[in-house]
Amino acid sequence: MRRLLILSVLALLVSVPALAQGPSAKVTDLSWMTGRYSSDGLEENWAPPRGGSIASLVRGMDGDGAMNMMEFIVVEEVYFGVGGEGPGSGEVHGCLSGRPASKLPEEPWG
């Protein structure tokens, strides 16, 4: 029994560092999303990955064809340092900004 416990602890100690590193994610892994997708009430346009990010504009339309929703999505690579030393594991994070069309400013550029 004691031998099994020691072997289990050793196996755990060996596997934890390998699990902590994990796979490095890249925005280019999402390049399959590039393109235009549409249905009767929704339209999505995804730009190709560039500069460590991928972006999308999503537009929703009601039954009369009037825009009733708009989203701007940005997914970018973020690197976290481990113990304050250089880049750590790569992770992909997203930022979603969406508002109903009725709440958009009349002059969004200023």
Mean pLDDT of the chain: 70
- pTM as predicted: 0.55
DSSP-derived secondary structure letter, 17: H
pLDDT given for residue 49 in this prediction:
93
Cα–Cα distance for residue pair 32/52, rounded to 1 Å: 15
Cα–Cα distance for residue pair 95/24, rounded to 1 Å: 19
Highest mean pLDDT among 10-14, 47-51, 76-80, 87-91: 47-51
pLDDT given for residue 46 in this prediction:
93
Cα–Cα distance for residue pair 62/40, rounded to 1 Å: 9
User: Which whole number is the average pLDDT over 99-103?
Assistant: 48
Selected residue with higher pLDDT from 68 and 7: 68
Q: Residue 94: name the closest of 58, 68, 59 by CA.
A: 58
pLDDT given for residue 73 in this prediction:
86
Cα of first residue to Cα of last residue in the chain, in angstroms, is: 73
Give tens-digit pLDDT for 22-55: 557 788 888 999 999 999 899 999 999 998 888 9
pLDDT grade, residue 76 (50/70/90)? confident
Residues 6+ apart with CB under 8 A from 43: 36, 37, 58, 59, 60, 61
The amino acid that residue 110 corresponds to is G
